[in-house]
């Protein structure tokens, strides 16, 4: 039995990259930490908000790697010499990934009250009309 994919449809030429992006997104294996929201903020504008309480600006990094937005957090463990009667807050690290469509760019990031806001903007492509000359065979 062969695996059916939508990129094999005869009207969808050159969409193999989209198929690979979907597979990569499915394999990213994001657990539930940190929790996040994605909201629409108008025409072509989006905001991703991650709950990163306890993380400082220098504990966080945001990179764009091959159309994939990657947010990493790493806290240093400063518990040496401390005695906990109960420890419910652990220093932990995380990595969250989001695949961005062509034309979507990161316009800014803000850390505010334990929330990391990442603003995205979709650039409107110019309409290009091209006339193809037909040659005689």
Structural domains in the chain, CATH included, are 30-122 (2.60.40.790)
Distance CA 34, CA 70 (A): 13
Per mean pLDDT, which range of 37-41, 63-67, 73-77, 115-119 is the poorest? 73-77
Determine how many CB atoms are found less than 10 A away from the CB of residue 6: 10
**Model pTM?**
0.71
Whole-number pLDDT of residue 82: 87
Q: CA 113, CA 52: separation in Å to the nearest integer?
A: 9
Are 71 and 102 in contact by the 8 Å Cβ rule? The answer is no
Query: For residue range 54-100, what is the model confidence (pLDDT) as tens digits?
Result: 899 999 999 998 889 999 999 887 778 888 888 887 778 999 999 89
């Amino acid at each position: 039995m062969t695996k059916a994919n939508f990129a094999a449809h005869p009207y969808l030429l050159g969409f193999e990259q989209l198929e690979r992006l979907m597979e990569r997104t499915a394999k990213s294996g994001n657990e539930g930490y940190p929790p996040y929201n994605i909201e629409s903020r108008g025409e072509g504008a989006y905001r991703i908000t991650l709950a990163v309480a306890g993380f400082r600006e220098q504990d966080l990094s945001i990179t764009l790697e091959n159309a994939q937005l990657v947010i990493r957090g790493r806290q240093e463990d400063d518990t040496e010499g401390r005695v906990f009667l109960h420890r419910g807050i652990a220093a932990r690290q995380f990595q969250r990934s989001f695949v961005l469509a062509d034309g979507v760019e990161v316009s800014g990031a803000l850390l505010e009250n334990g929330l990391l806001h990442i603003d995205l903007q979709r650039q409107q492509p110019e309409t290009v009309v091209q006339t193809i000359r037909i040659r005689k065979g």
